[in-house]
């Protein structure tokens, strides 16, 4: 890597970074502790079906977030499907379009009609006013998404759900380790669903968990994740194979053991980015409140083409050319994805705030892979791209890599 700003050949023959910098590169944690657990699993020969590591993980998660029940599942998507069905969601369910498509697929897969709702352009989360306006006699629930780990308007959504007698489910895939009003995410609504996919800072290789304070709901979901079995050969409920494996649980436990260090590491990276982009016109770093707990898992920048002279997509192209594998998230919005378009190929919902955020958001690499020097390098690339925007845009239009 070339570290001196004058040597940043941002469009020269060689990329700035020798090795790719990734968004969501998996963390490993204490490898020895993980391998000890895996050896124990191999010795026990108990690989799945509600084994001791899954039960330990469920207790750890419940204790950590302060929920009465945790149901570990094979992934967050299946968790959303099980929770939705257990809650009896049907007809129409209000959901943001600014979310990973799994949030919406989990509803559609069960014959539920997702009603795409506008977001607040400042928080990137559901707008309570838009949710209120979207309720119809066919609405049975609301799915809020804690985007970037910043909580939804929990209190307002809870009030709306209570007044209209709707179920309230939260997709908390981004929000493990976060809190709202001093209360941990995982204790709101009828249930919340975490993702422990490999790209999350706490992961299970692949996995998820549903948390709830409703004991009866938790028991139903436990039946549903294991084909409806209540005992050796007694099937009493419709179900699927949604179980988490013991190896996945061992990985998640290892990550939770290390969670404070991981969050601290993420925050240090975030602060380094904030310092590096401070005063840079057109790059607005998504802020995290210090009043509550945040996991700082995502470093998110909104790119203003008016102020930088380059679009978000050109910024992305520049970063990729320099081996910085930044990503645009949730683009183009679920309402613009194939399964959710009208018959004529157009979006069924008009969501200008969602469209604007989808066009401007850029997620930058972070996690244990990143050093302060690399973060400073990424920030320098963005600054230089803005400073030389006129030349860059002109040369990119002609398909030529430019030099600083």
Q: What is the pLDDT along the chain (404 residues), one digit of tens a residue?
A: 554 344 344 556 688 898 999 999 999 999 999 999 999 999 999 999 999 999 999 999 999 999 999 999 999 999 999 999 999 999 999 999 999 999 999 999 999 999 999 999 999 999 999 999 999 999 999 999 999 999 999 999 999 999 999 999 999 999 999 999 999 999 999 999 999 999 999 999 999 999 999 999 999 999 999 999 998 899 999 999 999 999 999 999 999 999 999 999 999 999 999 999 999 999 999 999 999 999 999 999 999 999 999 999 999 999 999 999 999 999 999 999 999 999 999 999 999 999 999 999 999 999 998 999 999 999 999 999 999 888 888 777 666 554 43
CB 119 within 8 A of CB 103: no
Delimiting residues of CATH 3.90.1150.10 domain(s) in the chain: 5-25+259-326+365-397
Residue 116, φ and ψ in degrees, nearest 5? -70, 135
Token pair listed for 338: 């194939």
Delimiting residues of CATH 3.40.640.10 domain(s) in the chain: 31-257
3-state secondary structure of 86: helix
- pTM of structure: 0.94
Cβ neighbors of 75 (< 8 A, separation 6 or more) are 195, 197, 206, 207, 208
The CATH architecture that domain 5-25+259-326+365-397 belongs to is Alpha-Beta Complex (3.90)
The CATH architecture that domain 31-257 belongs to is 3-Layer(aba) Sandwich (3.40)
pLDDT digits 0-9 by tens, 315-354: 999 999 999 999 999 999 999 999 999 999 999 999 999 9
């Amino acid at each position: 890597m070339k570290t001196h700003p004058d040597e940043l050949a941002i469009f020269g023959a060689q990329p700035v970074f020798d090795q790719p910098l990734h968004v969501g590169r998996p963390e490993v944690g204490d490898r020895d502790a993980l391998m000890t657990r895996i050896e124990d699993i191999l010795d026990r020969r108990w690989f799945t079906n509600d084994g001791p590591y899954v039960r330990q993980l469920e207790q750890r998660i419940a204790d950590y977030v302060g929920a009465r029940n945790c149901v570990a599942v094979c992934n967050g998507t299946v968790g959303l499907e099980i929770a939705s069905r257990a809650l009896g969601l049907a007809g129409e369910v209000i959901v943001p379009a600014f979310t990973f498509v799994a949030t919406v697929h989990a509803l559609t897969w069960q014959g539920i009609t997702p009603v795409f709702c506008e977001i607040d352009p400042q928080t990137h989360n559901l707008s309570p006013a838009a949710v209120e306006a979207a309720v119809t006699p066919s609405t049975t629930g609301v799915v809020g998404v804690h985007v970037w780990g910043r909580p939804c308007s929990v209190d307002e959504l809870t009030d709306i759900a209570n007044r209209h007698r709707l179920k309230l489910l939260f997709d908390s895939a981004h929000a493990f380790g976060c809190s709202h009003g001093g209360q941990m995410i995982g204790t709101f609504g009828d249930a919340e669903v975490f993702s422990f996919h490999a790209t999350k800072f706490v992961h299970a290789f692949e996995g998820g968990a549903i948390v709830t304070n409703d004991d009866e709901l938790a028991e139903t979901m436990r039946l549903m994740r294991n084909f409806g079995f209540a005992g050796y050969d007694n099937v009493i409920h419709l179900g699927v194979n949604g179980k988490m494996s013991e190896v996945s649980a061992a990985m998640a436990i290892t990550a939770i053991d290390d969670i404070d260090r991981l969050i601290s590491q993420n925050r240090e990276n975030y602060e380094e980015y904030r310092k590096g982009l401070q005063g840079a016109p057109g790059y607005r770093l998504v802020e995290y409140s210090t009043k509550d707990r945040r996991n700082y898992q995502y470093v998110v920048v909104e790119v203003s083409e008016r102020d930088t002279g380059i679009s978000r997509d050109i910024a992305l192209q520049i970063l990729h050319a320099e081996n910085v594998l930044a990503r645009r998230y949730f683009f183009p919005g679920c309402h613009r994805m194939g399964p959710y378009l009208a018959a004529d190929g157009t979006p069924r919902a008009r969501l200008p705030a969602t469209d604007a955020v989808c066009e401007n958001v850029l997620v930058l690499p972070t996690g244990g892979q990143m050093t302060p020097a690399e973060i400073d390098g990424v920030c320098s690339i963005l600054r230089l791209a803005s400073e030389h925007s006129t030349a860059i845009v002109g040369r990119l239009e002609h398909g030529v890599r430019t030099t600083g």
